[in-house]
Structure 1
Amino acid sequence: MFRSTLGFSLTFLAASACPATAHAADFMVNLPAQSLARSLSQLAGQARVDLLFSSKLVRARRAPAVRGRLTIDEALQRLLTGSRLSYRRSGYGAIVIVPAPAADAGERDDEGSIPEILVIGQRTQNADIRRTEGDILPYQVASRREVENAHAETAEGYLRSRLPANGQMATPSQLSLDNLGSARSELNLRGLGARQTLILVDGRRLPSLPSIDNGFNQPDINALPLAALSRIETLTSAAGGIYGPGAIAGVVNFVIDRDYRGGTLSVTSGIAGSGDALFKRVDGSFGFTPDGGETDIMVVFGHAVTQSLTFGDRDYTVRARRLKLQNDSETFVRQLPISSSVNVFSSLPLRLDAEAASRLAGSITHFPVGPAADYATMIANDDTIDLSLSPDANGTERSLLPASSRTSLLLNARRRISNVEVFFDGLWLRNRARSVLPSTLQHTVVPASANPFEHSVEVTFPQPGFKNVGANRSSVYRITTGAILDLPKDWRANVEYLFGGSNEVVHLEGDRLSTEAFDGAFGKMDPLGRPVPNPFQDYASFLSALDQYREPNTYRHEVSNKLSQFSMRFAGPLIYLPRGPTTLSVLGEHRSERVPASVVTLGPRDGIEEQPTPDVSQKALSVYAEARAPICGPRKMYGPLKNLELQLAMRHDRIETRVPSQIEGGSKYGNLVTVNNAVTVYTAGFRSDPLPYWMLRGSVSTGVLPPSVDQLTSRVTTLFGYLDAKRGGSFIKFGVPVIVGGSPSLRPERARTLSLGLVYTSPDNRARLSLDFTRLDKKNEVVLTSTNGLRYLTGLANVPFFLANEDRFPGRIQRLPLTAADAALGYTAGLITRIDTTALNIGRTRLDAWDLKAAYEIPDVAEGTLRLTGTAAWQPTYKRRFDTIGRWYDFADAADGALKWRGRAGVEWERGPFWIGLDGQYYGRYRITPAVPATGSDAEGIVRLQGAEYVEAQAYVDLAAAYRFSPNALGRGSLELRLGVQNLFDRSPPIVTTVEEPFYTETGYSLLGDPRQRRFNATLEYRF
């Protein structure tokens, strides 16, 4: 490990020792004499910059021919000669054409509320307004360079390590068994849940990932090529007034760079410090014009492959077992751990039979597999247990991380026809994963007649050769066609039609041990005459006997979602104020998603079974408007009104969801109901410059979350075994129908967010500091009283709750009229005929969070530039309750909640073509126990096993470097080498124990960490 680290360090030092010539920022310019608007658009593509201008400003102006190798400033000066125009650079790096002389220095860098796709000169298809970190709302923006330097493998991986507001505690790929081997993404701002974080690509929704249980899940963006991103915009507060339903915790918008000239090709290779977990990726893009600039075409592709990591590749589980044995050996032994030996357990002290005439001191022992168990070995191992992992799918072969491959393809074309620009945009992503999953619980009871002890014992044993391999594939495509129109008075319009789909295929194939395998040990005759397996005999014979009880195990489902969307956008100046124009953006949209009926195939012991899933759909009709008004200027006002700007966005959505709702006597999916919800939400905010170099901003936003499909779907079951207190504690009549699951009468969940922030920018623009406070109050949260899914019901409803609260929820308990005979017996209510225990809108969440972001640039440090950056999120309050009169549960720092503290800090140095940086990530401590313990769980036992109430805080450091080779040495192209070491000091995640069966849930480490630990990777990128 030391050699690997030393090797990379020497590489970095060698690179920094190279002569540091100034990086030539020139490029080949080839612009004929033509209209200024066309020359500026083509220059933006050739220079790979964002160049913004108003069609009214450059209308009727001509530009001279400009050719040669020039810098962007030289090219602009030549183009604008004699035009009475100039340019300035905005805060986010775009070049803006302005009248000469340049605009007042007091002006901000924003272009108002104009969607980027409607801004002439933008190299993007982003349908949203370009958001900046100096916006009225507290956006955080990650640039392409920041993403590249993080050396993340996926978009989820980048946001997990670099966005402290991402409250995600674990990824789906870390919980292979729970997620059927999936490697899909899941973003979870503030820890409120994936359904409350809205995912956009270029300002548009992707098709939801279909689910056989929930209907619609968050889209999978792990196959999105990071090399194609221009930036990632994240808003960490409710924003329903802008983005619509689902934007409760915030929004993440991935903006793709549309580079219509030249191309890139990059190759990345990575490996863990221990020599496993190989990673390979190739990305490419190519942009060109076939007709001299009238048409622009761009193609982007990417493919990545990640090698799996197994439980046997790391020692987390073994270390967790040692910790359990040290802290609470009694509980650990009750978990019946499976190891590479045969472990023997008894509730009594073990006593060997008369032949050995020996009594062991303890109630456990073990012996290695191989020859038949001998007395001497079991006596020598008295009161000990083998902590190693079994060499099978329940042990060393089980996937800690799945093997995965991700493929992407993007195609974009734009053509200008007079005052109309038509475009086509296609996106296709595929994410495949493969995992080895457990096959069976490997333990049995062996009676005294078949073991060397005087009484029955329990044993666990390794079982090589039995395993299940799960293949999980998710794919998504989105096709967008449309037109952008120039309208009078500097207005523009965008009309587009979008269609797409997503698909999830899960196929598990393997084998398992029949439940009849050990029946013969208790006298039951096997009808096929198969031998009775006995783990105390020689192991080859035992495995041979087990093999005769091998059963095939099959699980398969394929489910699809179809999306269609039509939208019209209009944007432009509304009125002109002394400070500038009030801009308005208006949207009308109709969206429809549908998951058709499908079939789940299961392979139980008695043959193949097919379970149907229902047809579910959702439609939304939306109207939205956003206005920005610069009220006061920089000179005439002072104090809180200086540079005052207001923002108001409003949105109305009508949502129609069609789901199954079983009626009494009907089939599970025979009755479909349509649920309609109409919601209106808003976002209102301001910003001003009350003091020199200080900006004050504030906003109030609302958001809504419609009930999900599983929260609307209900079932009918029957009741037995409950007492009716209003009828003298007598039993409720057997067979009374009980309605369980979701409810079609649920209302949308509603949230309100208050945000206040201060932003400081130094006079020389080298220092920037922002501090934002967010308070969220969410009401009408849906509370399910039973675990519900589209296919099944996994928990009976909480009938006692409704019996005890009959007066609070009128109509939930239906009864016959009270008869005179009942009254004479002292009863106060009639017989119960029906109980409705479906979901209620009685939950609530409150959350407070502080977000800090800082950057400081120091020039002339060792002939280069030093930059210091930092981001932190502090979430001191996160509490929920599941009843309007119930207790509050603290989810801050809970195992099933969100951390109070997350942050990152970085230092980087750049000189000419060389760049090097360190970045550290910090995750605060959290409680080992969940905020809401499961029924029957032992919180004290969980703490006792761990040996501490908290899992310790974690910190990891990444090292990265890059070198740009001189373009002159490569002809027309340029070459860049990027090197990275993640988890530089090879820090292990904290060891975490569980009280559940290790077979099912135990990974052994804190899922905030990466089990691969130290990783090395290198990227070679060629631009042409």
Structure 2
Amino acid sequence: MYKNSLLAKSVHFALMSGAAVAALSASTAFAAEEEGAKVERIEVTGSRIKRTDMETTVPITVLSREDIAQTGAINVADILNSSPVTIAGSDQSNSAFSTTTVGLNTTSLRNLGESRTLVLVNGRRFVSGVDPSTGYAVDLNAIPTSMIDRIEILKSASSAIYGSDAVAGVVNIITRKDFDGVEIAAQAGVSGESDRETRTISVTSGKNWSGGNAWISLGYDDDKGIKGTDRDFSKQDLAVFLDDNGNEVADILNSSYPPQGRIGGYNGDGSEYGGGVADGFNRASYRQLVTPLERKYAAAGLTLELADNVSMWNELNWNTTKTNDSTIEPTPLDIVNDVWKKSRNGKGGMDVNSPLIPDALRAALVADGITNLNETTFVRRMVEFGARSTDLERNTIRVATGMDWAINDTWTSSTYLTWGRTDQQQDNGGQVNVERAALALDVIEDANGNLVCANELARLQGCVPLDMFGAGTISDDAVKYVKSPAKAVGQAEQFVLGTSVTGELPLELAGGNIGVAMGLEYREERGTYSPGDLAQTGASSTNQSDPTDGKLYTKDVYAEAILPVMDGLELDLAARYADHSITGGDWTWNAGVEYTPIDSLKLRASAATAIRTPNIADLFGGKGETFSRVTDPCDGITATTAGDVAANCRSIPQISARIAADPNGEFVLTQAERQGTGGTVGGNVDVKAETADTWSAGFVWQIMDELSFTVDYYDISVKDAIDTTDRSVVLTRCFEVAPSAFSQNCNGATLRDANGALIDVNSGTSNENNIDTSGIDAEVNYTVDIGPGSFKAQLVWNYTNEYVTTGILDGDAIDYVGEVLYPEHRANLNLSYLIDDFSFAWRMRYWDSVVDSVNGDNGNFTDGESLTTFNEIDAVVYHDINARYNFSNGVEATVGIRNLFDKQPPLLPQGTNSGGTGINTASEAYDVTGRYFYAGVTVKF
């Protein structure tokens, strides 16, 4: 069993010194025990029982400190999400258009979502960094790279070991310990376009003594980001059109909410509105391609031996992240519906004879038969109010402390407590107070012939006329009166208390003693979010939103056992019972087997159940206003249309009256009515837990000391997956019932106006889908001495066989494999050469060829047909190089280039499904920065 092999020695070296992944993965030791020798046991992600080797019944990928150094990444998300088994949930590009998640960096295993990926720090939970109204995930910004020793990715469900959320697997970030001395590290970088400047500096100091260790680390990171206009692919709002020959082309699609205003078919000054580049508005000119991010952090650790067999440990993390100067385009204001609320039966408007309206515009409107502006379209881009900005700060603090007791030679006890809190504060600019806008649009002439607000009280409060008829016509005083600066605050808090005992039972099987672990755990989550007073009342131009306030807790008991049935055959068993305060009790279990028929080959298989209990956002997320498109099943119904849906529609008095009054006996909505349906989405306390059944099987083959090969097949089936119910689905479920069971207001979910048009359709979270995914992971590691140095090669490959989402209600299934974010193949090839104090690394990242949509639900802007040319995206390969040199005086210098050949991202403009808002590509898959240079130095003394 490799008693003194290079393989066994490599495990110890890699774990204790953070060697490269190639060395670590090659070192898959198969439990080497020498007679009479003390066996060193290590803690491995996925088990609470220490063991003698890294390989377990489930596959684990390790990213070492060396890997992080070779990428020059100052954010752990950059290295983690480049792994073939993970993908970004939120990143600094795909969140740039958001006001609450902007700047977040999260990760998703198997593409199953950040909420199904459990992120741990040193084997224990870390507090969420997402505002509780939006979701739940660890913000990787809160874990600086300078603190990290290695990252272990457990690529299998593990709820029986760690509890809820470990559906896709576990990301366990192991921080540095037992630091002795002082280390100062600094790095700077810049793109080939001379932007996205980054800089980082950290100072770490620690001391070992006979009774323990103490250390502290301080650091600062700054990422200047990239403006949308600084790259050709994102400097304009683009969409897919058909040219004169019917070919798909990407062309400029400027917004029809222009700075000069658009009233019917006219500009604000009365000239004809031509649209296009001349009269439209380029929203991209205000957008971010990469959100700027500034971080400051401090971390500390203390370990003390209180007695020969008792030790205490403490961890402290503090991090603050700022996303200053994050902007999107100025507010697009729909005066008819946002201010006068016509879509909600509002009666406001502006008579065509208002003194605010220019004569030329008045004449054109009168000629068209318009007597009041609420009878036509009236929209404007509010550029005088500036960009909609989000200055957001997240402060995360986490304290972890515990005590370990070596009861005897075989039994140990561990008790720990963690508490963490993330406070989010944001200032939003560029918004409009729609109530004051209504007052400022209602003007008269005073005795001196000056235009003033008609409402006397409003005048006393500073109201001045709001002239929106032309570019630059809104005065500074009007901006001051109408603008709506907003503040929003949120807080996520977590408390965990756990205790466990581990050891060996006095029962020996043929392969050795039975190892066991058992314990109790209590976890409490709290979350609040206040979107600001005007946002809550609906008086702001942003969507109305209710506050969030919720609390949940879970009480868990678990047990695990390792049964060495015989020499070379081991069973791993685990079970957990979790009692959730909202959803009740759930059992989960893990079962695995390892079999080593010969010294060089290990076979393994595992099966497990997992759960994801709903989080604060799922349960208690405040209702927020939305105007996403919905399909009214009554649209097009006639007096003679057959079927239950038609009968249910005609049972609604407003619809039956409209059908009776229509010359053709139809209920046909206007375009404005189809587009004007509002409503809310939010949490739902009736949501139940998701469940998952997973299994994997594979082998580890140490072909020779220098070459190893690992292959694992995985299969994950998620039931009752939590999602926000599409509002059109709400309507379908409401109307596709027998008339005797039909509710005219869909049990309170809908509201119609006097003409029968939908005003509101409300929805929320529910257990919507089943998700099935499967595939193969493979790793090949090779190490050989060439010339005066050592060459290492590692191939990490993922093949996704299926990713099927099936609607629970209708049974509709879509297999997303082959779409942009679900490539069939992803792979990394890492090559390195070490000679004395010099090392060189070349890393290649492969993303397979994909399509934008597998089921044709995208479309061009000319005739709406599904995309063809723009549906096809070629495979890409990114090349990164890194060189480092260790000087004899404790100084290490590094230089590197990411995206060496300046590979540009594929164009995914409007009309595609995968293109991120405002960036015309998919940042989760493709590099948006371009060629990037960095250099750094580390000094140790």
What range describes the TM-score normalised by the shorter chain of this pair? 0.7 to 0.9
Letter in 2 for 1:559: G
* Residue 79 of structure 2 corresponds to residue 147 of structure 1: no
From the superposition, tell whether residues 999 and 733 of structure 1 become closer, same or farther in structure 2 (CA, over 3 Å). Answer: same
Give 1:569's match in structure 2, choosing from 500, 505, 526.
500
User: In the alignment, which residue of structure 1 is the partner of 2:886?
Assistant: 964
From the superposition, tell whether residues 714 and 908 of structure 1 become closer, same or farther in structure 2 (CA, over 3 Å). Answer: closer
User: In the alignment, which residue of structure 2 is the partner of 1:231?
Assistant: 150
CA distance in 1, matches of 2:32, 2:775: 39
**Does the 8 A contact of 1:775 with 1:847 survive in 2?**
yes
CA distance in 1, matches of 2:125, 2:159: 14
Give 2:578's match in structure 1, choosing from 628, 653, 656.
653
* Residue 168 of structure 2 corresponds to residue 249 of structure 1: yes
User: In the alignment, which residue of structure 2 is the partner of 1:111?
Assistant: 41
How far residue 451 of structure 1 moved from its aligned partner, in angstroms, is 11
User: C-alpha offsets along residues 673-704 of structure 1, whole Å, 9 cap, x if unaligned?
Assistant: xx242111111111122345222111001111
C-alpha RMSD of the superposition: 4.9
CA distance in 1, matches of 2:423, 2:359: 53
CA distance in 2, matches of 1:365, 1:728: 44
User: C-alpha offsets along residues 953-999 of structure 1, whole Å, 9 cap, x if unaligned?
Assistant: 22211111110112xxx3xxx11111110111111111111139999
Give 2:533's match in structure 1, choosing from 569, 578, 601.
601
From the superposition, tell whether residues 276 and 197 of structure 1 become closer, same or farther in structure 2 (CA, over 3 Å). Answer: same
* Residue 339 of structure 2 corresponds to residue 408 of structure 1: no
* Residue 287 of structure 2 corresponds to residue 398 of structure 1: yes
User: In the alignment, which residue of structure 2 is the partner of 1:769?
Assistant: 709
* Residue 16 of structure 2 corresponds to residue 50 of structure 1: yes
CA distance in 1, matches of 2:443, 2:52: 70
User: In the alignment, which residue of structure 2 is the partner of 1:818?
Assistant: none
**Does the 8 A contact of 2:789 with 2:833 survive in 1?**
yes
User: In the alignment, which residue of structure 2 is the partner of 1:905?
Assistant: 829
CA distance in 1, matches of 2:190, 2:206: 32
- What TM-score results when the alignment is normalised by the length of structure 2? 0.76
**Does the 8 A contact of 1:799 with 1:837 survive in 2?**
no
Letter in 1 for 2:905: P
* Residue 776 of structure 2 corresponds to residue 850 of structure 1: yes
- What TM-score results when the alignment is normalised by the length of structure 1? 0.70
CA distance in 2, matches of 1:251, 1:997: 29
**Does the 8 A contact of 1:975 with 1:1022 survive in 2?**
yes
User: C-alpha offsets along residues 576-608 of structure 1, whole Å, 9 cap, x if unaligned?
Assistant: 445333211222111112225756333799689
**Does the 8 A contact of 1:167 with 1:898 survive in 2?**
no
User: In the alignment, which residue of structure 2 is the partner of 1:427?
Assistant: 317
User: In the alignment, which residue of structure 1 is the partner of 2:78?
Assistant: 157
**Does the 8 A contact of 1:190 with 1:898 survive in 2?**
no
From the superposition, tell whether residues 753 and 265 of structure 1 become closer, same or farther in structure 2 (CA, over 3 Å). Answer: same
From the superposition, tell whether residues 880 and 940 of structure 1 become closer, same or farther in structure 2 (CA, over 3 Å). Answer: farther
User: In the alignment, which residue of structure 1 is the partner of 2:818?
Assistant: 893
Could you list the runs of 5+ residues in structure 1 that have no partner in the other structure? 1-44, 53-88, 104-108, 118-125, 354-362, 367-383, 536-541, 634-642, 657-674, 787-794, 816-834
From the superposition, tell whether residues 983 and 110 of structure 1 become closer, same or farther in structure 2 (CA, over 3 Å). Answer: farther
From the superposition, tell whether residues 778 and 453 of structure 1 become closer, same or farther in structure 2 (CA, over 3 Å). Answer: same
How far residue 234 of structure 1 moved from its aligned partner, in angstroms, is 0.6
Could you list the runs of 5+ residues in structure 2 that have no partner in the other structure? 1-11, 19-23, 337-356, 369-376, 454-462, 625-631, 638-642, 656-678, 748-760
Letter in 1 for 2:822: A
Give 1:307's match in structure 2, choosing from 218, 224, 227.
224
SS of residue matched to 1:490: coil
SS of residue matched to 2:80: helix
Give 1:749's match in structure 2, choosing from 690, 701, 706.
690
CA distance in 2, matches of 1:596, 1:906: 44
User: In the alignment, which residue of structure 1 is the partner of 2:902?
Assistant: 986
Letter in 2 for 1:779: K
* Residue 846 of structure 2 corresponds to residue 954 of structure 1: no
CA distance in 2, matches of 1:530, 1:959: 60
**Does the 8 A contact of 1:206 with 1:219 survive in 2?**
yes
How far residue 322 of structure 1 moved from its aligned partner, in angstroms, is 8.2
How far residue 880 of structure 1 moved from its aligned partner, in angstroms, is 0.9
**Does the 8 A contact of 1:562 with 1:594 survive in 2?**
yes
Question: Pairwise mapping of residues 532-931 of structure 1 onto structure 2 (< 5 A)?
Answer: 532=467, 535=470, 542-545=471-474, 547=476, 549-550=478-479, 551-574=482-505, 575-596=507-528, 598=530, 600-602=532-534, 613-633=547-567, 643-656=568-581, 675-691=582-598, 693-713=600-620, 725=644, 729=648, 730-732=650-652, 743-764=684-705, 766-782=706-722, 784-785=724-725, 795=727, 798-805=730-737, 841=767, 843-860=769-786, 862-894=787-819, 898-929=822-853
SS of residue matched to 1:427: strand
From the superposition, tell whether residues 273 and 811 of structure 1 become closer, same or farther in structure 2 (CA, over 3 Å). Answer: same
SS of residue matched to 1:543: coil
**Does the 8 A contact of 2:722 with 2:769 survive in 1?**
yes
From the superposition, tell whether residues 462 and 607 of structure 1 become closer, same or farther in structure 2 (CA, over 3 Å). Answer: closer
From the superposition, tell whether residues 909 and 810 of structure 1 become closer, same or farther in structure 2 (CA, over 3 Å). Answer: farther
CA distance in 2, matches of 1:423, 1:984: 44
**Does the 8 A contact of 2:222 with 2:295 survive in 1?**
yes
Letter in 2 for 1:271: V
CA distance in 2, matches of 1:301, 1:468: 34
* Residue 59 of structure 2 corresponds to residue 138 of structure 1: yes
User: In the alignment, which residue of structure 1 is the partner of 2:349?
Assistant: none
How far residue 836 of structure 1 moved from its aligned partner, in angstroms, is 12
User: In the alignment, which residue of structure 2 is the partner of 1:1023?
Assistant: 940
**Does the 8 A contact of 1:49 with 1:94 survive in 2?**
no
CA distance in 2, matches of 1:998, 1:448: 46
Question: Pairwise mapping of residues 79-118 of structure 1 onto structure 2 (< 5 A)?
Answer: 111=41
**Does the 8 A contact of 1:132 with 1:139 survive in 2?**
no
How far residue 400 of structure 1 moved from its aligned partner, in angstroms, is 1.8
How far residue 500 of structure 1 moved from its aligned partner, in angstroms, is 2.2
CA distance in 1, matches of 2:729, 2:25: 58
SS of residue matched to 1:396: helix
From the superposition, tell whether residues 171 and 942 of structure 1 become closer, same or farther in structure 2 (CA, over 3 Å). Answer: farther
How far residue 150 of structure 1 moved from its aligned partner, in angstroms, is 1.7
Larger deviation, residues 466-475 vs 578-587? 578-587
**Does the 8 A contact of 1:233 with 1:252 survive in 2?**
yes
How far residue 870 of structure 1 moved from its aligned partner, in angstroms, is 1.2
* Residue 103 of structure 2 corresponds to residue 177 of structure 1: no
Larger deviation, residues 694-703 vs 683-692? 683-692
From the superposition, tell whether residues 952 and 364 of structure 1 become closer, same or farther in structure 2 (CA, over 3 Å). Answer: farther
Larger deviation, residues 1008-1017 vs 275-284? 1008-1017
Question: Pairwise mapping of residues 58-77 of structure 1 onto structure 2 (< 5 A)?
Answer: none
How far residue 168 of structure 1 moved from its aligned partner, in angstroms, is 3.4
**Percentage identity across paired residues of the two chains:** 19
**Does the 8 A contact of 1:520 with 1:532 survive in 2?**
no
Letter in 1 for 2:920: G
Letter in 2 for 1:312: T
**Does the 8 A contact of 1:705 with 1:750 survive in 2?**
yes
